[in-house]
Amino acid sequence: MPQTLVQVLLIALSLAMDAMAVSISAGLACKGPALRLGLRLGCWFGAFQFAMPLVGFALGQAMASYVEAVAPYIAFALLAFIGGRMVWDGASPDQQEEDLSVLSRKKVCLLAVATSIDALAVGVGAAMMELPLVLSCAVIGVTAFALSFLGAAVGRKLGQRWNRWAQVAGGLVLVGIGLKFLLERLF
């Protein structure tokens, strides 16, 4: 069991890296309190990272191969769209100073989906690797929550210092993460 837990933790850490990077990016762009942002992103990303392996397990291998084939394209489109909007809003001279202006509930949900699509395949893999599914999902969800919370706090600290240019940088990071998903699929 200890070896299994180490495997699950390593999987959880690798899945949570994208969520953490997106949280740093969001923290750079947002104007609200770091605690509120961290809890919000942590809950969304943690919940999606918890649920996606369950969905992947339920879909089975046949459907998962299709989802795996289109997942990078979906993730790229979502991240590029949201990141592009952040860059546009940050570079606009008439930018409004609103609390969490760039992260509506819809945008946070799209980011959570985009960063957790790869966890669908983990659900299928958990069955093949004979990993305990519920324990795996719990560790993945908690890890994503913790790293997203930390990422939002770090990003928020940096964002306070560089204000609207931090929003541009955050948007570029999101586009870059989306591009990474796409390039991994193509090559």
Q: pLDDT digits over 122-174, tens only?
A: 777 666 667 788 899 999 999 999 999 999 999 888 877 766 676 677 778 87
Number of domains in the chain: 1
Question: Which pTM was predicted?
Answer: 0.76
Residues spanned by the domain of 103: 2-186
Q: Report yes or no: 127 and 53 within 8 Å, Cβ to Cβ.
A: no
> pLDDT class for 62, splitting at 50, 70, 90?
low
